[in-house]
Amino acid sequence: MHFEYQINGGDFTNAGVASSQLKKILKQLNIDFRLIKRIVVALYEAEVNVVAHAYHGSIYVDIDTSKIIIVIEDEGPGISDIDLAMQEGFSTASQQVREMGFGAGMGLPNIKRNSDELNITSNPGSGTRLQMLHHLNKQAG
């Protein structure tokens, strides 16, 4: 199965809509609720990141019998130091993002914690690509 979603930078009202839709799909597929939570929390944090930092983003979800691969690609400023961005507490978020309850430097660490595998690549000045993988054939957690 393949699904695609679009994210608009700065559109906080719709941040999480894709995660919400994917959650409904995963529930219909009878996936363990703990695994669903890991997947949607990771995707939701990624959506918020795109809304907070980028101009536009696309989400590609591929589900087969053994795994779910989610790719989030954005056009934006990119991340110049990924290791630094992965450190809990590091953030370049605006005041507006903080007022939304985010921007404390926990997004990428939360995504990593909730993914079985996470791959981040970024071209500063053009954009960032996250690929997260979740195995379906093992217990969540």
Of 97, 101, 96, 136, residue with least CA distance to 116? 136
Cβ-contact 24, 35 below 8 angstroms: no
- Among residues 18, 44, 54, 79, the one that binds other proteins under rule CB under 8 A: 44
Among residues 45 and 74, whose Cβ is nearest to other proteins? 45
5 binds other proteins (CB under 8 A): no
How many CB atoms lie under 10 A from the CB of residue 119? 11
Indicate the Cα dihedral angle 132, 105, 9, 60, nearest 10°.
0
- Per-residue contact string for residues 62-101; x = within reach of other proteins by CB under 8 A: -------------------------------------xxx
Residue 26 to residue 35: CA distance in whole angstroms: 9
Q: Measured between alpha carbons, how far is 43 from 61 in angstroms, rounded to an integer?
A: 10
Q: Does 15 participate in binding other proteins (rule CB under 8 A)?
A: yes
Shortest distance, CB of residue 123 to other proteins, whole angstroms? 25
Pick the piece of the chain touching other proteins (CB under 8 A) from 7-15, 57-65, 77-85, 120-128: 7-15
Question: What is the amino acid identity at position 20?
Answer: S
**Binding region for other proteins (CB under 8 A):** 12-13, 15-16, 19-20, 23, 33, 37, 40-41, 44-45, 48, 99-102, 104, 106-107, 110, 113
